[in-house]
Every structure is written in structure tokens, then in C-alpha cells.
Amino acid sequence: MKLAWESQGDGSPVLLVHGLGYTRQGWGPLPGLLARRYRVVSYDNRGIGESEVPPGPYTVDELAADAVQVLDEAGLERAHVLGASLGGMVAQLLAAEQPDRVDRLILAGTTPGGPCAYPLPRQTLALMAQAASLPPDVALRRFVENALAPGSAFVDEVYAYRQQHPPDPAGWAAQAAAGAAWDADGRLARITAPTLVVAGTADAVVDPRNATLLAEAIPNAQLELVDGAGHLPFWERAGQFASLVERFLG
């Protein structure tokens, strides 16, 4: 599998695992902020960016194997792992199944999946149903607005990024299938890495109540809610998010 990745900074390694339809450039200011103290490794998941786009559907198991491949190619035995949204599902599985590769775990805007998780919020479901009838540029902007807090000042910035890095339609659908099928199914109790769970209280993509489910299911996990932030707190509250991560990693 060809996986495009990059590294910046020095110090303890932090692997960034992004969500559905986002390339490694989709973290906003966060990598640069963390690179002041850490070696930050980011990559394009299979199906997007400069990574290979194999036929789908994909599974979270396959995406987790890709994360291990990136660690291997970067020469890292262990790393702190920060996963957002779909990437948070990958990070959960990686920490549960390969604990020797994960030092500390940070889960942002994600869900344990399965029948006990809170489903997609209504406004996201409504937007998904409406999107096919909208001009593509209008639909894209609506999805960006939906991913951010209401009235966010970062809509134009994130929209510009999404225009510059459009997802491959087949790759996007294959990634979406992985997220839709995800179910932690008891594996969270096996996570031994110290864990920080972060969610924006205004997240309209993944119900923020799922953060509480994760924090309750993972032994000794910490929960941080970013008041008023949407699904991309690492972008719209980059300084605050980076400070949370730095305090947790020590």
C-alpha cells in the first residue's frame, strides 16, 4: 500500500490519524503548534490525497494496519496517537489490538460505534439527504459549515482547503463504509494507554455525547469538552486544543 506521509519537528513522536475525506493537510494550524515540542507524523489515509486508492469498501482494521505501516516507515516503535472522527475509530482499534505501538491516546470528535452509540445528528442526516440536489460547490460549503461551530470564522479557510484537496469519490465512499461499520464491541476495555477524549459541545457531525461513552468505557480515560466548538476543534480552537494535548502528553 502506497501511503503518503510527512514528519515535522523533533521530540516524542505523535501520529495524527485524520477522518473521512481529509488529507494530512486538513489539520489546520495544529501540526505546526505541536511540532514545537514533538515529532509530528501525519499521513493520507488510503483512498485520499497522495495515498493509494484501492477498491473499497474499507474497514477500520485495514485503516489501522495502514497506521502501523506509517509508524514502521517512519522508524517508530511507539508513538502517541491522535485520531479524529474516523481516525479516532482507527486509533481506538490500534490501541486495543496493538498496545505496544501506542504510548498515549487522544480521541477527538469520534464514537465507539455500534448499537449503543449516539447516531449521526439530525442536521447532518438532513444535509446528506439534500446534498445530491445541490450544486457541488454549494453542497461542499454546507458540509464545511456543518463541520464547524455556528457562525465560525473559519468557514472560508476550511472551504478553501477542501477545494484544494477534493476527495476521490470512490475513496470517500470506501472510507465512509469503514466508519459506518465500526463497532468497538467491547475492545475499549482492553485499552491500556492513558487516554484523553475530546469533543466540541457544538459538534453536529458526531454527537458529542459519544465522547462520554468513550471516556466511561476506556479505563482511566480523561474527558475534555471544548465549549462551543464544532467537529474540527483542532482547527477552529487550535491553540486551546494544542494546549490540551501538550498538558496531557506532558
Q: Which amino acid does the sequence have at 189? A: A
Please state, in angstroms and rounded to a whole number, the distance separating the CA atoms of residues 171 and 115. Answer: 26
- Position 135 scores a pLDDT of 95
pLDDT tens per residue, range 81-127: 999 999 999 999 999 999 999 999 999 999 999 999 999 999 999 99
What is the Cβ-side half-sphere exposure of residue 150, based on CA atoms within 13 angstroms? 6
Mean pLDDT in residue range 192-206: 98
- Position 36 scores a pLDDT of 97
C-alpha Rg value of the chain to the nearest Å: 16
Strand duo 79-84 + 222-226: pairing = unpaired
In which element (H, E) is residue 108 found? strand 102-108
Domain boundaries defined on the chain: 5-119+167-249
- Position 230 scores a pLDDT of 98
- Residue-averaged pLDDT of the chain: 97
Selection from 71, 67, 87, 79 nearest residue 18 by Cα: 87
Check: pTM over 0.85? Answer yes or no: yes
List of residues 6+ apart from 34 with CB closer than 8 A: 9, 14, 40, 242, 245, 246
- Position 96 scores a pLDDT of 98
> What percent of the chain is predicted at pLDDT more than 90?
99
- Position 22 scores a pLDDT of 98
> What percent of the chain is predicted at pLDDT more than 70?
100
First to last CA, the chain: 34
- Position 153 scores a pLDDT of 97
Please state, in angstroms and rounded to a whole number, the distance separating the CA atoms of residues 175 and 21. Answer: 8
List of residues 6+ apart from 167 with CB closer than 8 A: 21, 47, 48
Sign of CA dihedral 12, 39, 239, 103: negative
pLDDT tens per residue, range 39-56: 999 999 999 999 999 999
Under the banding of pLDDT at 50, 70 and 90, the label for residue 172 is very high
- Position 203 scores a pLDDT of 98
pLDDT tens per residue, range 118-152: 999 999 999 999 999 999 999 999 999 999 999 99
- Position 223 scores a pLDDT of 98
The CATH architecture of the domain made up of 5-119+167-249 is 3-Layer(aba) Sandwich (3.40)
Under the banding of pLDDT at 50, 70 and 90, the label for residue 65 is very high
Please state, in angstroms and rounded to a whole number, the distance separating the CA atoms of residues 181 and 195. Answer: 23
